[in-house]
């Protein structure tokens, strides 16, 4: 990178000693003018065939997972489910780009990424069922809880990554956000801290075009969201978010760069939320059928199938195995969620504080007394 720091050069016209000035050449930080693509391009021939087949399998299983979770929500078995249907390439590629020692910081729409990270598919839905806390052990899976507040997981990722770097651990944190999250203060604070601290973090923005019902044109005037990286002094990358091989390649490079001490990267993945925002949303009120149809022709599974067939890597056995695995998962989800769980009301107070406050202890004692009295009545 070309350093233009005026304090180390003989003369920079117009700048006085000690004054603020452009210190780095912004050109190397700028994203490509077009999204990075692999599938359907000559780059696909150089891709690892085993990786492409694995991405296909995960896409098929992930799509079925989204469909079944959406159905369970309509049946009242889940309180809410923000489906990532259409965005599965980002979900599975993000998880695969990380090593076992790394951490994932997901948003509420990234349940499939959590599952792809190795968390049990049913445990990953616990929070959205609304009857318990996170549902999985974040430490065991190195996956933070699903974050419902927009972008608040981004500073958490920076803090963990910075602490790991200070400790000498080769850990990278990858945090996932939507385009709406880039308008939140936490997003900007996280990027600034990450760049200044040179933290090993990768920010993955899944730009699906809408912050619930607000189109991107009404929340950002930036050339692309990836361009926002330049203002903080980190590289911005633009990638086709429905091209699983491209997303995996770009994120893999960013993760390795961070692990080698290169600092943070902001990746914008262009994708599309085919379903409504959640089961509480009517997407027909703010977007046209023609728009959705165009993106269905750019579906991540469709793109992968076409590429695999062109490369001679998709046989009927792989198609059948992936379909069978997907249906087995869906059947397990139905069996589990159609049974009412046995809940412990006292678990409400667990994991709120490392040391419960006096008020929390009083509330727990009051509930315990009420439960005991109720049990005595029914004895």
CA distance 205 to 150: 12
Q: Is 277 a catalytic residue?
A: yes
The DSSP-derived string for 152-193 is THHHHHHHHHHHHHHHT----EEEEEEGGGGGSHHHHHHHHH
Which of helix, strand or coil describes residue 351? coil
Q: What are phi and psi of 166, to 5 degrees?
A: -65, -35
Alpha helices in 198-243 (DSSP H): 228-232
CA distance 57 to 71: 22
Q: Is 286 a catalytic residue?
A: yes
- 201: which strand partners? 173
| Residue among 286, 287, 332, 334 flagged as catalytic | 286
> Which among 338, 339, 331 is positioned nearest to 68, based on CA atoms?
331
DSSP tag of 274: -
Q: Tokens in use for 104?
A: 């994932």
Q: Is 198 a catalytic residue?
A: no
CA distance 99 to 255: 9
* Residues annotated as part of the active site: 273, 277, 286
């Amino acid at each position: 990178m070309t350093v233009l720091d005026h304090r180390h050069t003989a003369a920079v016209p117009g700048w006085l000693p000690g004054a603020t000035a452009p210190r780095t050449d912004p050109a190397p930080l700028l994203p490509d003018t077009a999204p990075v693509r692999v599938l359907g391009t000559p780059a696909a021939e150089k891709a690892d065939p085993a990786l492409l087949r694995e991405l296909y399998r995960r896409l098929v299983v992930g799509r079925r997972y989204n469909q079944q979770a959406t159905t369970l929500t309509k049946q009242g078995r889940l309180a809410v489910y923000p489906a990532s249907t259409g965005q599965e390439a980002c979900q599975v590629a993000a998880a695969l780009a990380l090593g076992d020692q790394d951490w994932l910081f997901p948003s509420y729409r990234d349940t499939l990424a959590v599952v792809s990270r190795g968390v049990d598919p049913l445990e990953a839905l616990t929070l959205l069922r609304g009857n318990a806390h996170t549902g999985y052990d974040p430490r065991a899976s190195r996956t933070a809880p699903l974050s419902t507040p927009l972008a608040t997981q981004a500073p958490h990722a920076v803090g963990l990554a910075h602490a790991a770097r200070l400790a000498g651990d080769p850990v990278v944190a990858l945090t996932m956000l939507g385009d709406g999250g880039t308008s939140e203060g936490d997003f900007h604070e996280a990027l600034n801290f990450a760049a200044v601290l040179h933290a090993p973090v990768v920010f993955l923005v899944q730009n699906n075009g809408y912050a619930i019902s607000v189109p991107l044109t009404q929340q950002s005037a930036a050339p692309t969201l990836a361009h926002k990286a330049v203002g903080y002094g980190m590289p911005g990358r633009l990638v086709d978010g429905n091209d699983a091989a491209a997303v995996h390649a770009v994120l893999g490079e960013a993760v390795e760069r961070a692990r080698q001490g290169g600092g943070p990267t902001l990746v914008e993945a262009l994708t599309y939320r085919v379903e409504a925002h959640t089961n509480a949303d009517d997407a027909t009120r703010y977007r046209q059928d023609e728009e959705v149809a165009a993106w269905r022709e750019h579906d991540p599974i469709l793109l992968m199938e076409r590429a695999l067939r062109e490369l001679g890597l998709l046989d009927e056995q792989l198609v059948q195995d992936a379909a069978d695995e997907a249906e087995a998962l869906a059947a397990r989800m139905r069996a589990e969620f159609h049974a009412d769980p046995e809940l412990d009301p006292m678990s409400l107070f667990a994991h709120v504080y490392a040391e419960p406050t006096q008020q929390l202890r009083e509330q727990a004692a009051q509930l315990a007394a009420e439960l005991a009295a109720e049990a005595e009545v029914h004895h």
